[in-house]
Structures are given as C-alpha cells and as structure tokens.
C-alpha cells in the first residue's frame, strides 16, 4: 500500500487495530522530506507527547530510532488532549 499523503495539523492512526490492540490517534505536527512525521499523541492517558512515526508499508508505526518523546505544551498540548473532533 502506498504511503498516504499527509499534511500538518491532521489526525492519523498510529499502529494497526488487531484483536485487543487498538491504534492510537496522532496529531501531525511536522512532515519530513523522507516521509516520516512528527506527531503528538496522548501517552498512557496521562500526558501529551511528541514522537516520530514512519510508514511501514501498511500503517504508521513509531520510529525505532526515536527512543524518547518530548512533552507538548500550549496549543499543541490542548489539541492532542482534546483529540480528533468528528
């Protein structure tokens, strides 16, 4: 499957929903020329953080080389905390 065209400020699903494992909603903060994304998401239902994701040919996954996450603040934190709006 081709990598979807993604823009900043849109919501994506990270991971693949299978069985009891659900995908995570991620808010696109930055897009990179190599196709990776920097996304904000709500970690463990406790804190809004930012981490990089890549397309694995089927779905978005966290970048294995990105071991840490940074905390979001201000407007980005509020957007991620609120989540996608239908």
* Structural domain containing residue 48: 11-82
Confidence at residue 65, expressed as pLDDT on a 0 to 100 scale? 78
Domain membership flag for residue 76: yes
Structure tokens at 19: 């069985």
- How far apart are the two ends of the chain, measured CA to CA in Å? 26
Domain membership flag for residue 45: yes
Q: What mean pLDDT comes out for the span 32-60?
A: 94
Tens-place pLDDT, residues 75-86: 999 999 999 987
Is 0.85 surpassed by the pTM of this model?
yes
Domain membership flag for residue 60: yes
| Number of domain units in the chain | 1
Domain membership flag for residue 3: no
- Split at pLDDT 50, 70, 90, the class of 20 is low
pLDDT at 18 over 70: yes
Instruction: Kindly give, in sequence order, each residue whose CB lies less than 8 Å from that of residue 64, ignoring residues fewer than 6 positions away.
Output: none
């Amino acid at each position: 499957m081709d990598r979807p065209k993604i823009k900043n400020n849109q919501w994506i699903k990270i991971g693949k929903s299978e069985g009891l494992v659900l995908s995570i909603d991620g808010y696109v903060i930055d897009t990179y020329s190599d196709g990776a994304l920097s996304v904000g998401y709500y970690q463990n239902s406790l804190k809004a953080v930012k981490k990089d994701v890549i397309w694995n040919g089927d779905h978005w996954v966290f970048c294995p080389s990105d071991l840490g996450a940074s905390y979001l603040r201000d407007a980005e934190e509020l957007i991620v905390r609120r989540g996608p709006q239908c």
